[in-house]
Amino acid sequence: QELKRGDFKVLDVGCGSLSMWLLQLSEDYPSAKFVGLDKISKFPKDFSQNNLQFTQGDILEGLPFEDDSFDFVHMRFVLMEFTEEQWEEKVIKELVRVCKPNGWIELLEIE
């Protein structure tokens, strides 16, 4: 239901070059806004959704967004990308910083 709101914003950190999750959601929920971020700037180019954008960035250098910017922050399959210290000192703090109060953060891993 929340994705049907016009002001609902989703961030996918480490979206990857295919970004199938974002492409599908942005098509299914045209009133929400979606942002994909990855440190490699190889993103899909052939999509018609105007509610989807991609940006290059590295979470370890700080996410390029203001505090409390997103209702839902998603990150998956990146557990091994960071050390335990990076998770504790930077990654989690950045995810929380850009998530709105009462928003959601989802970390998804295989195990």
Can you tell me the distance from the alpha carbon of 34 to that of 51, in angstroms, rounded to the nearest whole number? 6
Query: Would the pLDDT of 111 be above 80?
Result: no
Task: Give the model's pLDDT for residue 1.
Answer: 85
pLDDT tens for 24-35 read 999 999 999 999
The ranges assigned to domains in the chain are 2-108
pLDDT tens for 11-60 read 999 998 888 999 999 999 999 999 999 998 889 888 889 999 999 999 99
Can you tell me the distance from the alpha carbon of 52 to that of 26, in angstroms, rounded to the nearest whole number? 6
Does the domain formed by 2-108 have CATH 3.40.50.150? Answer: yes
Burial 90-103 (b: 16+ CB within 10 A, else e): bbeebbeebbeeeb
Task: Give the model's pLDDT for residue 79.
Answer: 79
Tokens of 106: 């989802």
